[in-house]
Amino acid sequence: MRNDFKRYSYMNKKPDTLLSITRQIQNHLAYLSSLGFKGMDCRRETLERINGWGCRPAAAGESLSDIEAELRQCRKCRLAGSNARAVPGAGNPDARLMFIGGCPEPADEASGQPFSGAGGELLTRMLTAMALSRDSVYISHAFKCVPPGDNPPEPRDIKICRHFLFREIAVVAPEMICTLGDAALAALLDEKASCTRLRGRFHEFKGIALMPTFSPAHLLANPSAKRETWEDMKQVIARLGNPAGPGPV
- Give the count of beta carbons closer than 10 Å to the beta carbon of residue 44: 7
pLDDT (tens digit per residue) in 74-130:
888 777 666 678 899 999 999 999 999 998 988 998 998 999 999 999 999 999 999
Please tell me which residue, 156 or 91, carries the higher pLDDT value. 91
Least confident of 35-44, 82-91, 155-164: 35-44
The pTM (predicted TM-score) of the whole model is: 0.72
DSSP label at residue 93: T
Going by pLDDT thresholds of 50, 70 and 90, the confidence category of residue 160 is: confident
Dist CA 125 CA 52 (whole Å): 35
Burial label for 57, CB within 10 Å (0-12, 13-18, 19+), is exposed
pLDDT, position 117:
92
Q: Is the pLDDT of residue 10 over 90?
A: no
Dist CA 211 CA 237 (whole Å): 11
pLDDT, position 54:
43
Sign of CA dihedral 29, 30, 35, 39: positive
Average pLDDT over residues 134-140: 95
Rg (CA), the chain: 21
> β-strand 138-141 against 90-91: which pairing, if any?
antiparallel
What residue spans of 81-225 are helical by DSSP H? 106-111, 118-129, 155-172, 182-188, 195-198, 216-221
Average pLDDT over residues 204-221: 94
End-to-end, the C-alpha distance of the chain in Å comes to 70
Q: What angle do CA 177, 99, 134 make, to 5 degrees?
A: 130
**In the sheet that 208-213 helps form, which strands lie side by side, from edge to edge?**
90-91, 138-141, 97-101, 176-180, 208-213, 203-205
